């Protein structure tokens, strides 16, 4: 009897062999997609752009910069985690334009000792992220494999506006309501838990939920197109923190964003289990924590907010000699959040 052993690492496989293990795991994503006219197998994919416009974004995760294979609290990052997060953060960018994702391509850079099972899990996580987050019209159209010193996962995603105008960051107007869809500070609490000395196995369900949302974010993908349909004047993905991304919206719109402290406190209260455990300030996570991939949007006063959105502030006109800023109850707030080149 012949025994077929699972290769331990990608070094034992050719590129074609590894692709043969990945492609079947990606086939389930986009089972209902009509945008990918020609998928993996040729030099390039062919995708449809029915209204003549395509929304496109790209993002990268790099080992020891965006994730660790093993964290101080003992948690081991799985390929499934990285695949899910790669899908989530890219789908969220399309969502923030009021568009719907249709197809994506993936570039993997892998050290030779990367376990084959880890790469297979990544493909499973990517598929699960696409389907689990509700991007039913999105498929994996192709990608690339390469060898390097650390794991790097780059995803480029395409989307459609279906004949509508994109919602930009620059459209907020004085008097608009500022609203949030999704969570704020949850992923930051999860990162703090990962970086802590509190062993992952000692976490209760009320704390573990934050760790899970750091490793596998859940952007509200239905909220982007719904916000566009409801007349959102500006919108962006909250990937680098409420203050930093709020300032980006304010700067693009040449306005001031004023946050409601009572609304912020309500957001912070949800984080209490993790903040008590770590002795941390939950408000710092709400204001400066990124990677929740929620949506920050502005709507004309009097418009009924679409499902999933809650008002957290307002847009104010700039006074003479004033610069765009973020305020809390009319007082300047220090810009915080994540900066890729400052860490």
Per-residue pLDDT tens digits for 169-215? 999 999 999 999 999 999 999 999 999 999 999 999 999 999 999 99
pLDDT tens string 229-248: 999 999 999 999 999 999 99
Q: The tokens 């703090």 sit on which residue?
A: 192
Give yes or no for residue 340 having a pLDDT over 50.
Answer: no
Output the domain CATH number for residue 92.
Answer: 3.30.1330.10
Tell me whether residue 77 is in a domain: yes
Q: How many domains would you assign to the chain? A: 2
CB 163 within 8 A of CB 209: no
Please give the pLDDT value at position 22.
72
* Alpha helices, DSSP H, located in the chain: 15-26, 79-95, 116-132, 186-195, 205-215, 223-229, 242-253, 261-269, 272-278, 282-288
Tell how strand 309-316 and strand 256-259 pair up: antiparallel
The whole-number average pLDDT for the span 50-54 is 86
Tell me whether residue 287 is in a domain: yes
Please give the pLDDT value at position 12.
72
Q: Which of 300, 272, 306, 302 is nearest to 286 (CA)?
A: 272
Judgement on whether residues 259 and 226 belong to the same structural domain of the protein: yes
Q: Which of 150, 167, 62, 141 is nearest to 111 (CA)?
A: 150
Judgement on whether residues 173 and 133 belong to the same structural domain of the protein: no
Lowest mean pLDDT among 39-48, 226-235, 311-320: 39-48
Tell me whether residue 221 is in a domain: yes
Spatial distance between the Cα atoms of 287 and 185, rounded to a whole number of angstroms? 7
Domain boundary among 160, 181, 200: 160
Q: Which of 42, 288, 326 is nearest to 184 (CA)?
A: 288
CA dihedral 9, 11, 16, 17 (to 10 degrees): -40
| SS3 state at 285 | helix
Domain boundary among 100, 134, 160: 160
Judgement on whether residues 116 and 182 belong to the same structural domain of the protein: no
Tell me whether residue 340 is in a domain: no
pLDDT tens string 141-171: 988 999 999 999 999 999 999 999 999 999 9
Please give the pLDDT value at position 50.
79
Judgement on whether residues 133 and 181 belong to the same structural domain of the protein: no
Q: Domain range holding 318? A: 169-332
Spatial distance between the Cα atoms of 283 and 281, rounded to a whole number of angstroms? 5
Please give the pLDDT value at position 3.
42
The whole-number average pLDDT for the span 102-117 is 95
Please give the pLDDT value at position 343.
46
For the chain, the farthest-separated pair of C-alpha atoms sits apart, in whole angstroms, at 84
Judgement on whether residues 37 and 98 belong to the same structural domain of the protein: yes
Tell me whether residue 87 is in a domain: yes
Tell me whether residue 343 is in a domain: no
Mean pLDDT of the chain: 91
The whole-number average pLDDT for the span 277-292 is 96
CB 296 within 8 A of CB 326: no
Please give the pLDDT value at position 154.
97
Q: Give the bridge partners for 296, in sequence order.
A: 180, 236
Q: Which two tokens stand for residue 172?
A: 């907020």
Spatial distance between the Cα atoms of 156 and 154, rounded to a whole number of angstroms? 7
Give yes or no for residue 339 having a pLDDT over 80.
Answer: no
Give yes or no for residue 59 having a pLDDT over 90.
Answer: yes
Judgement on whether residues 325 and 215 belong to the same structural domain of the protein: yes
Within 8 A by CB and 6+ apart from 248, the residues are: 169, 236
pLDDT tens string 5-44: 566 787 777 777 777 677 767 766 654 567 788 878 787 8
Give yes or no for residue 322 having a pLDDT over 70.
Answer: yes
Please give the pLDDT value at position 21.
77
The whole-number average pLDDT for the span 122-142 is 94
Judgement on whether residues 313 and 189 belong to the same structural domain of the protein: yes
Spatial distance between the Cα atoms of 183 and 165, rounded to a whole number of angstroms? 26
Judgement on whether residues 319 and 178 belong to the same structural domain of the protein: yes
Judgement on whether residues 175 and 324 belong to the same structural domain of the protein: yes
**Cα-based angle 261, 215, 39 (whole degrees, multiple of 5):** 120
Spatial distance between the Cα atoms of 11 and 145, rounded to a whole number of angstroms? 13
Give yes or no for residue 324 having a pLDDT over 80.
Answer: yes
């Amino acid at each position: 009897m012949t025994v077929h052993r699972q290769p331990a690492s990608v070094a034992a496989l050719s590129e074609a062999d590894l692709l043969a293990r990945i492609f079947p795991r990606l086939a389930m994503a986009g089972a209902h997609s009509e945008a990918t006219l020609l998928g993996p197998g040729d030099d390039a994919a062919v995708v449809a752009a029915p209204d003549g416009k395509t929304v496109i974004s790209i993002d990268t995760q790099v080992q020891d910069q965006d994730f660790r294979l093993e964290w101080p609290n003992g948690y081991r990052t799985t390929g499934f985690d990285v695949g899910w997060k790669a899908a989530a953060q890219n789908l969220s960018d399309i969502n923030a334009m009021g568009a719907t994702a249709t197809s994506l391509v993936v570039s993997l850079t892998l050290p030779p000792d990367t376990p084959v099972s880890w790469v297979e899990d990544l493909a499973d996580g990517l598929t699960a992220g696409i389907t689990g987050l509700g991007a039913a019209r999105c498929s994996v159209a192709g990608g690339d494999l390469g060898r390097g010193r650390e794991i790097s996962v780059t995803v480029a995603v395409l989307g459609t506006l279906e004949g509508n105008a994109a919602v930009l960051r620059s459209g907020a107007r004085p008097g608009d309501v500022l609203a949030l869809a999704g969570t704020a500070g949850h992923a930051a609490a999860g990162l703090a838990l990962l970086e802590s000395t509190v062993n992952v196995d000692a976490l209760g369900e009320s704390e573990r939920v934050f760790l899970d949302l750091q490793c596998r974010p859940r952007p509200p993908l239905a909220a982007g197109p719904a916000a566009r349909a409801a007349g959102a004047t500006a919108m962006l993905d909250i990937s680098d923190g409420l203050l930093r991304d709020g300032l980006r919206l304010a700067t693009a719109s040449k306005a001031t964003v004023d946050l409601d402290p009572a609304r912020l406190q309500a957001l912070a209260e949800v984080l209490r289990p993790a903040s008590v455990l770590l002795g941390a300030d939950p408000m710092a996570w709400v204001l400066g924590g990124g990677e929740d991939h929620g949506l920050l949007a502005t709507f004309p006063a009097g418009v009924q907010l679409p499902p999933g959105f809650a008002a957290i502030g307002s847009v104010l006109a700039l006074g003479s000699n004033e610069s765009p800023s973020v305020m809390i109850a009319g007082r300047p707030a220090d810009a915080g959040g994540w900066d890729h080149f400052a860490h």
